[in-house]
């Protein structure tokens, strides 16, 4: 059989000089910022897609089989747990044979078999578009209007429309170029939204009067510091509009009363470098208060309250203290209670604090490895807290936890046809890092999978932005586990699984720690008999794609195959270009190589693109999105071109570029299943027993 030949990108050297160092980038020409793109660039990406089709052809039967397996785990019709909001229960309905969801509502307390009415049908919105993503979906306080935003190309720049729910028709209001987040005024006469700048940084909050043209909208607040992202939302009480502004290390917020939408914004507390806080509103007969989550004098964060009118630190009253072994990640305010989402020992916990007497309790969890999160809880006066629970073997459930007597009711259990959780086992193991730190690993496999080094395995990682990769359930994963795979998550430093210091130990000038932690986890899986290097795969996305690129240079013999999706791999060049989306704001995550020679040298030491050398590499599946504004399409394209020119092995290397999508990949459910199945089929093929 004739083996397909990969495309060869022309080498056109571009010399780059900074801080006394000269680099040559042979593939800088692929970085085309024009619209439309240069025909030669598009032709190269299309050629790579054709090559991927041909190279992956032997895996097509497995891919199609996995798609059928995924479809078999999806109920024909499925409703989310209803969220009570005023006189209505709002819920989402999905269909196995439709790419998008329907948003519905029915009268509060109506039986579950009441279909209610359609609020918004994404399938109708998607007609005529290859891509659709819903950014915001907010019902007005009187429940008569729906504000929603749509992105039809994956660029994450949205268009705002407003639907009259009494007639089912859209108003003439049409506001282009929004970012995420909208907020209603109390009388539903105004809507607040954020607008991005040229680098897709949300930097302005605007006010739109319902029934007027977008040209009449009023600028309310602007954030000029390029390190900060601005957002907008209403408090759960509905009494205030809050406009938080946050960098990676500092935050503050402004606010206006929701009942006085044309008021000037007022600061909640002054901006102090290195001090972070988040706020929600507590109604109190003795005087309304802010509930503030802050790291001021508390590395793991603490919770305080402050009067709405005067919320500086000198007026803070302690509510939940800082604990050395705990990171308070978020707070939610329900009438009379503050709910703390906490991280301890690599797992999330929910602590509920009664405000009037300070009494508290932690909701117990049944599994040793699990994920739990607080739900939407749109009703401020709700007597119960809605939370979501799942484990690596247990499909998600939605639980209402009563705040008075702590009794619980399971509101909804996810139905997964054909899935039997008793066939699987999950556990927690620990790797030892280069510096002696213990790194948690979450593991799942079938109970009958032999743990003798012969099983194929996939190790997933991320390790950035203090984001936690939770040990949750996936409808895709049984297609690996039932083929004898072990699946594991490396909870490496740079993430937030073990608290704020865990993040700090894997960021900035300690970033390489994330990569060595991941390799330590891989070696532990092999040493403890879960797999072996010739049957071990690795997978990561975005910043996790940087991780994949780094470990492919650091320890290429430890992995047989790697999947790197929308990978951030051209780190030095991207972080040296402040005109690109996110760059300036992310200097506080990665460092500033443009102005700081130490950051430049350190980043250059691990940047995957800059460290490609002639050597054998694992087999690789690499994915990008043409309209991606977070990791520009040319990062994976340049990386693959350089790998092709330097690698000394003949293992598979494919680049798949979504030509009509962005960072999140294709938008429809079926397209998402097909994309996932292609990656899984690649891994199954590469990690099969080759003895």
Query: Could you tell me the CATH number of the domain that includes residue 314?
Result: 2.130.10.120
- Six-digit token pair at 172? 């003439």
What are the helix and strand counts (H, E) for the chain?
A: 12, 40
Dihedral in degrees, nearest 10, Cα atoms 183, 184, 189, 193 = 0
Same structural domain for residues 436 and 291? no
Task: Report the alpha-carbon distance of residue 565 to residue 636 in Å, rounded.
Answer: 8
> Residue holding tokens 């939370």?
387
- Residue among 438, 444, 462, 423 at smallest CA distance from 565: 462
Residue 117 in any domain: the answer is no
Domain final residue, candidates 415, 446, 478: 415
Task: Report the alpha-carbon distance of residue 576 to residue 587 in Å, rounded.
Answer: 9
Same structural domain for residues 380 and 444? no
- Six-digit token pair at 149? 């935003």
> Residue holding tokens 């402050």?
306
Task: Report the alpha-carbon distance of residue 56 to residue 621 in Å, rounded.
Answer: 10
Supply the pLDDT for residue 690. Answer: 63
Task: Report the alpha-carbon distance of residue 320 to residue 330 in Å, rounded.
Answer: 12
Task: Report the alpha-carbon distance of residue 38 to residue 193 in Å, rounded.
Answer: 34
- Domain limits for position 440: 14-70+419-686
Same structural domain for residues 152 and 292? no
Is the Cβ–Cβ distance between 400 and 81 less than 8 Å?
no
Same structural domain for residues 323 and 344? yes
CATH code, 663: 3.40.50.1820
Same structural domain for residues 409 and 439? no
Residue 85 in any domain: the answer is no
Residue 76 in any domain: the answer is no
Residue 104 in any domain: the answer is no
Strands 561-565, 619-625: pairing kind: parallel
- Residue among 357, 351, 419 at smallest CA distance from 385: 351
Give the contacts of 230 (CB within 8 A, at least 6 positions apart). 194, 202, 203, 204, 205, 221, 222, 223, 243, 244, 245
Tell me the catalytic residues: 542, 628, 663
Segment 191-224, tens digit of pLDDT: 999 999 999 999 999 999 999 999 999 999 999 9
The per-residue b/e assignment along 237-251, b for 16 or more CB within 10 angstroms, e otherwise, is: bbbbbbbbbbbbebb
Task: Report the alpha-carbon distance of residue 212 to residue 314 in Å, rounded.
Answer: 43
Number of residues that this document lists for the chain: 691
Q: Which residues pair with 488 in a beta bridge?
A: 443, 459
Same structural domain for residues 410 and 428? no
Residue 287 in any domain: the answer is yes
Same structural domain for residues 199 and 221? yes
Same structural domain for residues 313 and 394? yes
Domain final residue, candidates 220, 252, 272: 272
| Intervals of the chain under pLDDT 50 | 1
Query: Distance of CA 238 to CAs 86, 213, 490, Å?
Result: 12, 26, 40
Element housing 513 (H / E) = helix 512-527
> Strand order in 190-196's β-sheet?
182-184, 190-196, 202-209, 218-222
* SS3 of the chain: helix, strand, coil, percent, to 5: 20, 35, 45
Number of domains in the chain: 3
Residue 613, classified by CB atoms within 10 Å of its CB into exposed (0-12), middle (13-18) or buried (19+), is: exposed
Give the contacts of 472 (CB within 8 A, at least 6 positions apart). 371, 390, 391, 392, 396
Query: Given CA atoms 28, 29, 34, 35 in this order, what sign does their dihedral have?
Result: negative
Residue 105 in any domain: the answer is no
Query: Given CA atoms 200, 206, 210, 214 in this order, what sign does their dihedral have?
Result: negative
Domain final residue, candidates 415, 446, 473: 415
Residue 572 in any domain: the answer is yes
Segment 16-34, tens digit of pLDDT: 999 999 999 999 999 998 8
Residue 547 in any domain: the answer is yes
Task: Report the alpha-carbon distance of residue 531 to residue 456 in Å, rounded.
Answer: 6
Segment 396-455, tens digit of pLDDT: 999 999 999 999 999 999 999 999 999 999 999 999 999 999 999 999 999 999 999 999
Same structural domain for residues 546 and 575? yes
Longest dimension (CA), the chain: 81
Q: Is 525 helix (H, G, I), strand (E, B) or coil?
A: helix
Same structural domain for residues 388 and 456? no
> Residue holding tokens 């660039």?
41
Supply the pLDDT for residue 2. Answer: 63
- Indicate left, alpha or beta for 406 from its phi (over 0: left) and psi (-120 to 50: alpha): left
Task: Report the alpha-carbon distance of residue 491 to residue 451 in Å, rounded.
Answer: 21
Task: Report the alpha-carbon distance of residue 617 to residue 646 in Å, rounded.
Answer: 10
- Six-digit token pair at 454? 């012969």
**Is the N-terminal amide bond of 630 cis, ω within 30° of 0?**
no
Same structural domain for residues 287 and 390? yes
Same structural domain for residues 553 and 648? yes
Segment 289-344, tens digit of pLDDT: 999 999 999 999 999 999 998 888 999 999 999 999 899 999 999 989 999 999 99
């Amino acid at each position: 059989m004739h083996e397909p030949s990969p495309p060869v990108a022309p080498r056109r050297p571009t010399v780059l000089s900074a801080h006394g160092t000269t680099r040559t980038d042979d593939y800088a020409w692929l970085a085309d910022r024009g619209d439309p793109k240069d025909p030669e660039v598009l032709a190269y990406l299309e050629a790579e897609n054709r090559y991927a089709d041909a190279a992956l052809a032997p895996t097509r039967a497995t891919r199609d089989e996995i798609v059928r397996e995924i479809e078999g785990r999806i109920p024909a019709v499925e409703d989310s747990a209803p969220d009570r909001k005023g006189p209505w229960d709002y819920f989402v309905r999905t269909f196995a044979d439709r790419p998008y969801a329907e948003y519905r509502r029915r009268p509060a307390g109506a039986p579950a078999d009441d279909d209610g009415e359609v609020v918004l049908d994404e399938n109708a919105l998607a007609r005529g578009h290859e891509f659709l993503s819903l950014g915001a979906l907010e019902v007005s306080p009187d429940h008569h209007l729906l504000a929603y935003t749509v992105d039809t190309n994956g660029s994450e720049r949205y268009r705002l429309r407003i639907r009259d729910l009494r007639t089912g028709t859209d108003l003439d209001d049409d506001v282009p170029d929004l970012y995420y987040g909208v907020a209603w005024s109390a009388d539903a006469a105004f809507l607040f939204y954020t607008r991005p700048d040229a680098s897709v940084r949300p930097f302005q909050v605007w006010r739109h009067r319902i029934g007027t043209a977008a040209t009449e909208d009023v600028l309310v607040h602007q954030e000029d510091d390029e390190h900060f992202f601005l957002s907008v939302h209403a408090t759960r009480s509905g009494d205030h509009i809050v406009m938080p502004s946050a960098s990676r290390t500092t935050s503050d917020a402004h606010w206006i009363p929701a009942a006085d939408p044309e008021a000037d914004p007022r600061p909640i507390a002054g901006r102090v470098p290195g001090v972070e806080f988040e706020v929600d509103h507590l109604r109190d007969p003795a005087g309304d208060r802010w509930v503030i989550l802050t790291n001021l004098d508390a590395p793991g964060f603490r919770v305080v309250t402050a009067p709405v009118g005067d919320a500086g630190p000198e007026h803070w009253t302690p509510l939940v203290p800082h604990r050395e072994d705990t990171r308070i990640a978020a707070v939610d305010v329900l009438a009379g209670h503050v709910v703390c989402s906490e991280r301890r020992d690599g797992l999330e916990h929910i602590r509920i604090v009664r405000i009037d007497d300070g009494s508290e309790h932690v909701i117990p969890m049944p599994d040793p490895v699990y994920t739990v999160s607080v739900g939407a809880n749109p009703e401020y006066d709700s007597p119960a807290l809605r939370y979501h629970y799942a484990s690596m073997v247990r499909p998600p459930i939605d639980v209402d936890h009563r705040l008075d007597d702590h009794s619980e009711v399971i509101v909804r259990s996810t139905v997964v046809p054909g899935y039997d959780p008793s066939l699987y086992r999950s556990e927690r193991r620990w790797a030892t890092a280069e510096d002696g730190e213990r790194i948690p690993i979450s593991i799942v496999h079938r109970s009958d999978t032999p743990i003798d080094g012969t099983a194929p395995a996939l190790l997933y990682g991320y390790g950035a932005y203090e984001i936690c990769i939770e040990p949750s359930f996936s409808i895709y994963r049984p297609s690996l586990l039932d083929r004898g795979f072990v699946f594991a998550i490396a909870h490496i430093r740079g993430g937030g699984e073990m608290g704020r210091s865990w993040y700090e130990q894997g960021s900035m000038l300690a970033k390489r720690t994330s990569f060595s932690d991941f390799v330590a986890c891989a070696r532990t899986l092999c040493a403890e008999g879960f797999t072996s290097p010739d049957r071990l795969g690795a997978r990561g996305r975005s910043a996790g794609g940087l991780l994949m690129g780094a470990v492919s240079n650091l320890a290429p013999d430890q992995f047989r195959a790697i999947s790197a999706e929308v990978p951030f791999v051209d780190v030095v060049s991207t972080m040296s270009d402040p005109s690109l989306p996110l760059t300036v704001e992310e200097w506080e995550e990665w460092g500033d190589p443009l102005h700081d020679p130490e950051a430049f040298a350190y980043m250059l030491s691990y940047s995957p693109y800059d460290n490609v050398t002639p050597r054998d590499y694992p087999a690789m599946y690499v994915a990008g999105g043409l309209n991606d504004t977070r990791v520009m399409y040319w990062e994976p394209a340049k990386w693959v071109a350089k790998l092709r020119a330097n690698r000394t092995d003949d293992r598979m290397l494919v680049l798949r570029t979504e030509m009509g999508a962005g960072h999140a990949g294709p938008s429809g459910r079926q397209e998402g299943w097909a994309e996932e199945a292609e990656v899984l089929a690649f891994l199954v093929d590469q990690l099969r027993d080759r003895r």
